[in-house]
Amino acid sequence: MNPSSPATPADTALRSDDSIAKQLFLGNILEENLFPYPQIRARDREMLGAMTDAIDEFLADKAAALKQYDRDAEQPAEFIQALREMGLFGLIIPEQFGGMELSNGAYARVLGQTSSHDSSVSLTIGAHSSIGMKGLLLFGSDEQKQRYLPKLATGEMIAAFCLTESGAGSDAASIRTKATRNDDGSWTLSGEKIWITNGGIAGFYTVFARTDTPEGKLTAFIVEAAWPGVSHGPHEDKMGIRASSTTTVAFADVRVPAQNVLGPVGKGFKVAMSILNSGRTGLGGGAVGGMRTLIRLACAQAKERKQFGQPIAEYGLVREKIAQMTVDCFAAESAVWMVAHLIDAGGSDYSVEAAMSKVFASEAVQRASYEALQIAAGNGFMREFPYEQITRDTRILSIFEGTNEILRLYVALSGLKGVGAGLSELKAAVGDIFNEPIKGFGVLGSYTGRRMREATGYGIDRIAHELSPRLRKVAATYEKYTVELSKSSDALLRRYGKKAADMQYAQKRLADIAIDLFVGLCVLSRADALAKQSHPAADEAVSIAEVFARQARRRMARNVRGLERNEDAAIEQLAGAVLVHDGYLWDVI
């Protein structure tokens, strides 16, 4: 086990109400939540060693079968039963209900291990735990938990998350599935959900429907597949993750008892977002497991394949690919485990960090799949080798659980909200100076002090944690660009006000700066911890921290410049012209 895995709440003091990511937009590095890098709790370390060995033993023997499941687009019933018998449906369920009660960090590690063999296996397990029944853990009543968790822990009931509809993907407000409250307190549910993972094998659905009640417009329900009026369609024929079950799920005047409302009536949007936010560590863990496998395959291929009389591992452009895959994997792993720790340690504001880790990890594993396939060359394109399936399987990750485009906007708008609140307080403070001078000058002084520090460079937020000289230089990059992010956010809001909410190109640039900062700080913290532990690969970890910081600095500098000097207007005009003509503008004559 790697010593730098997520911690328990007791391992470190956490400012649980504060967000690392949101503070970056305000020019602050919340190092109390970043340093020292969290360690895995002893209980999970003991369990994980045995679990990962068992997973490897079980899945390694089924390599040929797993490939056939992908071609057949189905996991056989006996394979699902084997997953049940291994306890893989009870990973995060409390022990009192028959589960293993793994922390988020340990759970992400398990999904990383299953993903190193087959993504569809991880998806069947992950859709059950990360989102399918996560709402029951977060919002369920004691009675609901007693009734369902024991069956979910054994896999007698497999869970699925039913949110997406035709025309209602990221826009949950456009959901048309409807639930009407009856006189006896029960509900009548009607509608159809699409692309539901585990839809064809689940017995337990977390369903979101419009209720248009005085309490709110969207409500979550627990629905059993065996109830009259519940049905599912055939397995979807997918590009990747083909073996996992994906179907439509339909509800035709389904009677849902009052006691099966999940969370408060009318608060379904909060329930859905909480589930998705807390579930992203599983997806990130799966991406990391995939990258580890790709690096191992690429190394073996590069050493075995010879061209011009020597292994291609000796050529610079191949070595560059392997090194970059390693940098990306270490960085993704560092961020995913940090987010898991924030959740496990009782943090209440981690949704932006979860979104950042999902964006980074999902894109990193896709880059790795392309590079490993490229190193394999012609072999990579052939179905007898694993590369083409991994490439197909990873493509969904930037769409799953909130598209990366939506998540980037979420990151930016969440950060800008805090900056905007500060500007509003500043505006009010000017008036308060005459009415409540102490309060008014306090707000004004705080704001002007921050801006003076950023303008002069004196007194800006420095990382006080003791670092080696090499890592101290790395830290300076993040200190500088934390200031740049704060200044750029402030300038955007001052210049455009509320219109900034519609400026998606600018939001993407701010989000990418923030993502580089957060991921880079996680890398810095982990490299520092490994160096202080005298880990055998500590020097390589410090080198990764240096490489990532240099690459991030170039990206962040480009994004800061792009907020002022860009081709956004030309891009908008060109897109408009192409859309008007329904396609490419130049015919070949």
- Residues involved in catalysis: 401
427 pairs with which residues across the strands?
none
CB neighbours (10 Å) of residue 36? 17
279, containing H or E segment: helix 268-304
CB 375 within 8 A of CB 324: no
Residues 6 or more apart whose CB falls under 8 angstroms from that of 560 comprise 481, 484, 488, 509, 513
Residues 6 or more apart whose CB falls under 8 angstroms from that of 422 comprise 26, 447
207 pairs with which residues across the strands?
162, 221
Reduced to 3 DSSP states, what percent helix, strand and coil does the chain have, rounded to the nearest 5? Answer: 65, 10, 25
CB neighbours (10 Å) of residue 530? 23
255 pairs with which residues across the strands?
188
Q: 186-216 as b/e, with b when 16 or more CB fall inside 10 Å?
A: bbbbbbbbbbbbbbbbbbbbbbbbbbeeeeb
**Got the DSSP string for 481-538?**
HHHHHHHHHHHHHHHHGGGGGG-HHHHHHHHHHHHHHHHHHHHHHHHHHHHHTT-TTH
Packing angle between helix 63-72 and helix 119-126, nearest 10 degrees?
Answer: 70
Helices first, then strands: H and E counts in the chain: 18, 10
CA dihedral over 559, 560, 562, 563, signed as positive or negative: positive
Tell me the residue type at 249. Answer: V
Q: Of 194, 191, 177, which Cα lies nearest the Cα of 246?
A: 194
Q: Of 143, 107, 583, 71, which Cα lies nearest the Cα of 343?
A: 107
Here the tokens at position 47 are 């369990």
CA dihedral over 526, 528, 534, 536, signed as positive or negative: positive
DSSP at 128:
I
How far, in Å, are 71, 313, 400, 568 from residue 89 at the CA level? 24, 41, 20, 47
Block residue for tokens 């456009």: 174
In angstroms, the CA 516 to CA 528 distance is: 18
Tell me the residue type at 255. Answer: R
